[in-house]
Structure 1
Amino acid sequence: MTTTSNEHSVITEEHISTASRPSALRITDLRVANLHGVPFRSSIIRIDTNQGLVGYGEVRDQASATYALTLKSRIIGENPCNLDKIFRKIKQFGHHGRQGGGVSAIEMALMDLAGKAYGVPAYALVGGQFRDTVRCYADTPSLGDPQAMGERLLERKQRGFAMLKMDVGIDLLWDVPGTLIAPAGARENKTTMHPFTGIQVTQKGVDHLASYVETVRSIVGYDVALAADHFGHIALDSCIRIGRALEPFTLAWIEDLIPWQFTDQWRQLTEAVAVPTCTGEDIYLTEGFKPLLDAGAIRVVHPDPATSGGIAETKRLGDYAQERGIAMALHLAASPIATMACVHLAAATENFLALEHHAADVPFWSDLVTGLPSPLIQDGQIAVPEAPGLGFGDINEELFAQQLDPRDPVYFAESGHWDRESSHDRLWS
C-alpha cells in the first residue's frame, strides 16, 4: 500500500481512483441489448473492463447482434486502449452492408473506453477538432402527394434543420399509368440489382418526378439544402435522364441510384449530370471505397460508420476522399450512441458535410442517454461534447427497458457462451 502523509492527512490507495490506469485496463465482458423503434432495430453493445469502466457501441441498424458477439472471444483480455491493434485483429470478420456492423460497433465502444481511460473526448484520439457543432440533415420518408411532402419537410425546416432529404423514385410512379415499363413481378422484386431488373422510367415518369421535386422546392424554398434518395432498382440510362431533369432544383446530392459496386457506371452518371452524386452507406473499410474515389466516380462519399469500420477507419476514409476533392457526409439510422460516435468523427474530419438523422419523429430519442442536452439536436446541430469517450453520461436504463425488442427482451443479457468461441483466424500460412 502506497502512502503519502503529513501532519494533517494520510492518502491511501483506497481513497483514490484506480480506474484511470490505461496500461492495466483489460476487457472482461461484452453484452448486447436489442432495442426497437429508435428508429429501427438497434443492437447496443456494452464492453466491460477490470477497472469498472464501460464502453458503448452500436451495431448497424437492422443487423444481427451476432456480428458483434462472435468477436467477444477475440477481444476478452485485450487492453481497449490498443485501438489499432484490436481493430486489425477483428476487421477480417466484417464485410459490406450490415455485416460490417459487429466490427464497427466494437470500434465505437473501444473509442468510448479509451477516451474515458485517458480522460479525453473521442475526437482527440483521431486528431482533434475542426468544428464544435455538427450539422444534421433530417431524412424524411416521402408521401405520394408532393404538396403534403413539402409541408412535412417545411416543418423540419421550421424546427431548425438547414438540410433535408426525401425519397424520389419509382415508388412514386407504380400507380401512375404510363410512367414505368417493367416485367411482371418487378414491383415485388427487391433482390435483383438495378441493372438487371428490366425496369425503365418513361419520359412521363421522368416529368412526374421532376414536377414532384419542383413542388417540394417551391414550399421549402432554396435557402435550405435538399437531397434525394431511394430512386429504385432502375438501370443507368433511366438514372441519367432523371438526374438531368432534377438539375434545375439545385439538390445537395442524388443518392444510391445504382449499386456502389459498379464504379464505371457511377463515373458515367457523375459525368452526365450537373447534380452531385452520392453513395457509400454499404461499403466496408477505406479499401472498399478506393475504386469509386480513385476514379472520381462520385461527388460526395457517404459512409455509414456503423458499417465502414467505426470512428478511426471512417476518419481515414474522409482524409483519403479529401485528397481527391470529394466531400464526406455520414449515413446513419441509429440511437444517440452511434450518433455520438459520428459526432466525434465529424468534429475531427475536415471535409465533413452533414450527418443523417432518421429519428425526427421519435419523441424519446434524445433521452435514451444521459448527460447531453435534450433535445440533442438543436437548430439542426449537435454540440460536440467535451466529456471523455463518446461524451454522454450513461444510458437511460428505464427507457432502454421500455424499448427492448420484444423478440429478445433481455437487458444486456449474459453472454458467457460466446467466451470460448474459437477458430484459427490467421489469413496466411
Structure 2
Amino acid sequence: MKKPDNEKASPVSKSSRRNFLQKSVLGGLGIAFLAKSNNVAADVEYTTQKVSRTSNPTELKITDLRVANTTDGPIIKIYTNQDIYGLGEVRDIADPRYALMIKSRILGLNPCNVEQIFKAIKQFGGHGRQGGGVSGIEMALWDLAGKAYGVPAYQLLGGKYRDKIRIYADTPSSKDPEVYAKRMNYRMEQGFTFLKMDFGIGLIKDIPGALIGEKFWSGQSEWDQSRPGNLSNTKHPFTRIQITDLGLEKMVEYVHTVREIVGYEIPLSADHFGHFDTNTAIRLGQAVEKYQLAWLEDMVPWFYTEKWKEITQAVNTPTLTGEDIFGKEAFIKLCDEHAVDMVHPDLASAGGLLETKKIGDYAEEKGIAMAMHFAGTPVSFMANIHCAAATQNFVALEHHDVDTPYWEDYVVCDKPILQNGFVGVPETPGLGIDLNEEVVKEHLKKGEKLFAPTDEWNQRNSWDRQWS
C-alpha cells in the first residue's frame, strides 16, 4: 500500500507508533474491527492515515534554540524532542542575544504551553528592540503549537475575522514631492489600497529659515546610535527644534502635491516626522488637516501620555503610536486615557501573537482601531498575518520590503505571498511557512553560520523570580 504523503514527510519511530496504537485501541478505535484483523498495525495505519503523526503534543519538549543572523533580521529556530521545530524572529535587525539569553529558561518545557512560558520570560523583554527576544520566542512557540495540533496559528488565537490581510507599503521618500507622489501612485498600480508617506523635517532642513534650532544638530545623523547625546538619542521635547511658518508652508505644499496625484479615494497616512516639541506637533497637525490623512504617527515618544492626549485633542487628524512598546500595559494606559486615536504595535516588540491580539482586543473595547508595524523577514511577517486575521479591530499591516526582490524567497509557502496589496491567511499548520535555507545562507551577516550550536547559552545561572 502506498504511504500517504504526510507520513513520508514526517516519519515516526517504532516506539511512537506502538504508543499511538495502544492509545488508539484504549480510546475505542474499534476493538471488534481490530480483533478480526490479521494485521492490526497495518489496519490501524490505514484507518488513521489522515491523522497527523508528527507530534504527540503532551510529550513535546524544547531541546534547543539556534539562530540564523541575516542582514534582514535574526531568525530563530526552536527544536524539540519530536520531528517538528518552530520559527521566530528577533525584531528588525536587533541583537540575537535578546533571544539567546532566554534559551536556558525554556529548555525542557512543553512549547504548547505558550502563555505559561510567555509569562515566565516576559521579565526579560523591554521596549523597542529589547522586546525582540521574548517576542521571537513567542512566535516560534505558536509555530510549534500549530504544527503539533495540525492547525494554523490563527485558529489557536480563537479563529479568524478575515481571509486576507490588507497591507500598506513603505515607500522610499524623495525631497521632490512630485517624484514621491509618482512612487506612491505606483503603489496603487501594484494594488495597494492603503498608503503611508514620509514628510518629516528632514525634507526642509536645507531650506533657509524653515527650521529653528536645527543647525545645532547639523552633522549628526538621526540614525547614529553611538553617541548618547546626539539628535537620534534626544527625546523630542528636548531638541527644541521648531518649524517656522515658512517650514510649515513647504511641508503643506509637499502633502498637497502628493494628495493631488494620489487622490482622496485611498487612505494616506504619515510616518515619523523627526524630533520636535508638542507645540510644533500641534501646529503641523492643524496645518495638514484639510488633506484628511489617515493618521499622524509618533509625533512624540509613546510614553508621554499627557502630551499625546494634548496633541490628540488639539487636531482633527487621527493620532497613532506604539511600534516600540513592549507588553500590553502601556497600551492600556494610552487607551484608558484616550491619548491616541489608534494603536500601532510591532508584534516583534510587543510580545508576540497573543500579547498583540490582547492589545488589539483591549483597544477595541475602547473604540480604538489597530494598525500594525512591521519590518523584517517573512517569518515575522507571517506571524503578523495570523495575528491580524484573529483581531477584529485590525486595519492594515506595514510591509517594508515590497521592493526587495529576494525577500519572499526566504521561505517556502504558497507564492506569491503578496498579491494586489493583500496577503492570504495560510491554512497550513503553525505559521504556514518553512525556510529556504539556501537563500537564508546567502543573506547571513558576515562571519555568521546557519543555526550553529548555541550550547554556551544552555546553563541557567540565576533565580529569576521578581517577588518574595
TM-score, normalized by the shorter chain, greater than 0.5: yes
2:155 matches 1:116: no
Aligned to 1:35: 70
- The one-letter code sitting in structure 2 at the alignment partner of 1:82 is N
Structure showing greater radius of gyration is 2
Alignment partner of 1:284 out of 298, 321, 326: 326
Displacement after TM superposition at 1:19 (Å)? 2.6
- Determine which of 285, 295, 302 is the counterpart of 1:260: 302
Instruction: Note the C-alpha offset of 1:411.
Output: 0.6
Range moving further from structure 2, 346-355 or 360-369: 360-369
Counterpart position of 1:363: 405
User: Which of the numbers 449, 457, 468 marks the counterpart of 1:410?
Assistant: 449
SS at match of 2:54: coil
TM-score scaled by structure 2?
0.88
**1:184 deviation in Å?**
4.5
Check conservation: 2:89, 2:348, Cα contact below 8 A. yes
1:391 offset after TM fit, Å? 1.1
Residue 170 of structure 2 aligns to a residue in which SS? strand
In 1: Cα distance, 2:455 partner to 2:303 partner: 38
Distance 2:443 2:272 in 1: 28
Give the alignment of 1:138-149 within 5 angstroms: 138-149=169-180
2:420 is the counterpart of 1:351? no
The range that moved more, 284-293 or 90-99, is 284-293
Question: Shift in Å at residue 230 of structure 1?
Answer: 2.0
Q: Distance in 2 between matches of 1:18 and 1:387?
A: 15
Q: 1:70, 1:418 within 8 Å by CA — same for their partners in 2?
A: yes
Q: Which residue of 2 aligns with 1:397?
A: 437
Cα deviation, 1:92-137, whole Å, max 9, x if unaligned, reads: 0001111000000000000000000011110111110100100000
Greater Cα offset, 219-228 or 382-391: 219-228
In structure 2, what is the equivalent of residue 330 of structure 1?
372
* Alignment of structure 1 residues 166-315 onto 2, 5 Å: 166-182=197-213, 184-187=215-218, 188=220, 189-315=231-357
Question: Is the partner of 1:34 in helix, strand or coil?
Answer: strand
Q: Which amino acid in 2 is paired with 1:222?
A: Y
Asked if structure 1 preserves the Cα contact closer than 8 Å seen for 2:199 and 2:273, the reply is yes
SS in 1 for 2:232: coil
Q: What is the CA–CA distance in structure 2 between the aligned matches of 1:323 and 1:228, rounded to whole Å?
A: 25
Which residue of structure 2 lines up, in the alignment, with residue 386 of structure 1?
427
Identity among equivalent positions (%) equals 52
**Residues 12-21 or 175-184, more deviating:** 12-21
RMSD of the TM alignment (CA)? Answer: 1.6
Instruction: Specify every segment of 5 or more residues in structure 1 that has no aligned partner in the other structure, as ranges.
Output: none
Greater shift in the superposed pair: 249-258 or 364-373: 364-373
Specify the SS of the correspondent of 1:134. strand
How far apart, in 2, do the equivalents of 1:384 and 1:267 lie?
35
- Tell me how far apart the structure 1 counterparts of residues 128 and 232 of structure 2 sit (CA, whole Å): 15
Residue identity opposite 2:375 in structure 1: A
Q: Which residue of 2 aligns with 1:89?
A: 120
Q: Return the match for 1:23 from 37, 43, 58.
A: 58
Task: Measure the CA separation in 1 of the matches of 2:162 and 2:375.
Answer: 22
The reply on whether 1:422 has 2:461 as its aligned counterpart is: yes
2:195 to 164, 174, 186: 164
Q: Distance in 2 between matches of 1:10 and 1:66?
A: 47
Tell me how far 1:18 sits from its aligned partner. 4.4
8 Å CA contact retained: 2:205, 2:214:
no
What residue ranges of structure 2 are gaps of 5+ in the alignment? 1-14, 22-33, 221-230
Q: Which structure is higher in helix share?
A: 2
What TM-score do you get using the length of structure 1 for normalisation?
0.95
Bigger Cα displacement from structure 2, 409-418 vs 349-358: 409-418
Alpha-carbon distance between aligned partners in 1 of 2:171 and 2:277, rounded to the nearest angstrom: 24
Structure-1 separation of matches of 2:39 and 2:120: 51
In 2, are the aligned partners of 1:319 and 1:349 still within 8 Å (CA)? yes
Q: Note if contact 2:93-2:376 (Cα within 8 Å) is conserved in structure 1.
A: no
Confirm or deny that 1:136 pairs with 2:167.
yes
Structure-1 residue corresponding to 2:8: none
